[in-house]
Amino acid sequence: MLDDAPEVWIGYERAFFETVHHRVENFIAGILLPHQNKKPDDPYIRTVMPRMGAIESTLHLLASLECPLERQPAATARQLAPYRSRPGPSMLLPRYRCPSDTSDLEWALLERLLPTPACQTPKGGAPEKWPRRRMVDAIRYITDNGAKWRALPADFGIPWRTVFGYFARWAKADVLRHILDQLRRRLRLNRRRCPWPVRVIVDSQSVKGAESVSKATRGYDANKHINGRKRHLLVDQDGLLVDLLVTPADVQDREAARVLLTRLHAEHPEIVLVRADNGYSGDEFSTWAQTALGITVKVVSRPKNAKGFVLVPKRWVVERSNSWTMRARRNARDYERLMSHAEAHVQWAFITLTTCRLTRRNAQTEAVPTPSAAAA
């Protein structure tokens, strides 16, 4: 068969190597590079390097052969050369595309809001080894798809411990809070609103905790019959996240609101009105908020004798924000050992939501009223 139709064999081999090409590149970038500094007599180097050299030679040979099939040329030695050099932010990484990846416009918004790399600061530091955009894409993948950190796909070409390290450091340094504030400010300006909200809505949401959630950071919500944690969200009139706090599920809403409103007043002193449900009612709590923080707590109750879901005026937007949070599968259940990491996943979900709204085609005019509508 091979003698009668050699072009069929060549086409089959070429298609096969194109199919697994990204796996070969991941192997070179993720496994071989850490072992380059080892001695030549290392058993790993003696075993693997000859095999990779044979694979590279085969790729080069197949790329030089004429194939009747209209396919992309296989990888050559020149294309694989960046993997032999020291990896850096501009290194070639496997080509892929996930639904959670940042677009070029989204990355243009996020890149300027991330912390300055250490190598560009006066104090100095080593250059970052991996591209930041790929790092953000990996974090968004975990949040959006609900995967384990150890199950980060090899297509990203970055060790999962490195991605988790960036996730934890940015969360601890309040980088995500800063990004959310700036993105929310820009989106409100596009909608012809004041950049800083003065009225917010607060609500809580109980979610089940996985076995990784410690006993000290979880509780039982007797009202919702949920054993886990509780998220306390503060959103503006458009449902965009302003602040949040994660507590054990047995913490009362009013007790968590004291901590949340105190922090809110320190960071956003312009906010003077908070709308809430009956869980935040009580003269003692409202008096404390008015006298100590200058914030008016207005309870918006459900209509009497109402059954099922009711669209409560002025307060329904926070319910929609809770559903936006659950769109990211990592937030459908609390898996985090630290409550700060649980807050970070919610913040990443709203960062993705806000950047998508800012970069879609009608973002500039989606809430700008027309002259006829304004007259009406």
- Structure confidence by residue, pLDDT tens digits, 146-171: 999 999 998 888 999 999 999 999 99
Total structural domains within the chain: 3
Does residue 376 form part of some domain?
no
- Confirm whether 47 is domain-assigned: yes
Query: Band of the pLDDT at 360, cuts 50, 70, 90?
Result: confident
pLDDT at residue 307, rounded to an integer: 78
- DSSP state, residue 291: I
Q: Which of 84, 116, 134 is the last residue of a domain?
A: 84
Residues 319 and 238 reside in one and the same domain: yes
Identify whether 289 is part of a domain: yes
Is the domain of 161 the same as that of 224?
no
Task: Look at residue 166 and tell me if it is in a domain.
Answer: yes
Assigned domain for 232 exists: yes
Check residue 12 and give its pLDDT. Answer: 53
Tell me which residue of 244, 236, 243 sits closest to 191, measured CA to CA: 236
What's the pLDDT at 347?
A: 97
Torsion of CA 35, 38, 44, 46, to 10 degrees: 120
201 and 293 co-located in one domain: yes
120 CA to centre of own chain: 25
pLDDT-derived band at 289, boundaries 50, 70, 90: very high
169-195 pLDDT, tens digit each: 999 999 999 999 999 999 999 989 999
Report the CATH number at residue 315.
3.30.420.10
Mean pLDDT on 267-288: 93
Spatial separation of the C-alpha atoms in residues 83 and 159, rounded to whole Å: 15
Using one digit for the tens of pLDDT, what is the confidence trace for 52-89? 656 556 555 555 544 443 344 444 444 444 434 344 44
**Residues 328, 244 share a domain:** yes
Question: What's the burial of 247, exposed, middle or buried (CB within 10 Å: 0-12/13-18/19+)?
Answer: buried
- Residues 218 and 322 occupy one common structural domain: yes
Q: Give the model's pLDDT for residue 33.
A: 55
Same domain, yes or no: 149 and 215: no
Determine, yes or no, domain membership for 199. Answer: yes
Share the mean pLDDT of the chain: 80
Q: Are residues 74 and 156 in the same domain?
A: no
The verdict on 157 and 276 lying in the same domain is no
Residue 355: the pLDDT is 95
- 323 is a domain residue: yes
What is the spatial distance between Cα 127 and Cα 316, in angstroms, rounded to a whole number? 47
Same domain, 152 and 220: no
Separation between Cα atoms, residue 374 and residue 376, nearest integer Å: 5
Q: Please check whether residues 338 and 205 belong to one and the same domain.
A: yes
- Domain membership flag for residue 183: no
Q: Indicate whether 31 and 140 sit together in one domain.
A: no
Contacts of 287 (CB under 8 A, 6+ apart): none
Q: Which domain holds residue 237?
A: 194-303+311-342
Kindly state whether residues 80 and 151 are assigned to the same domain.
Answer: no
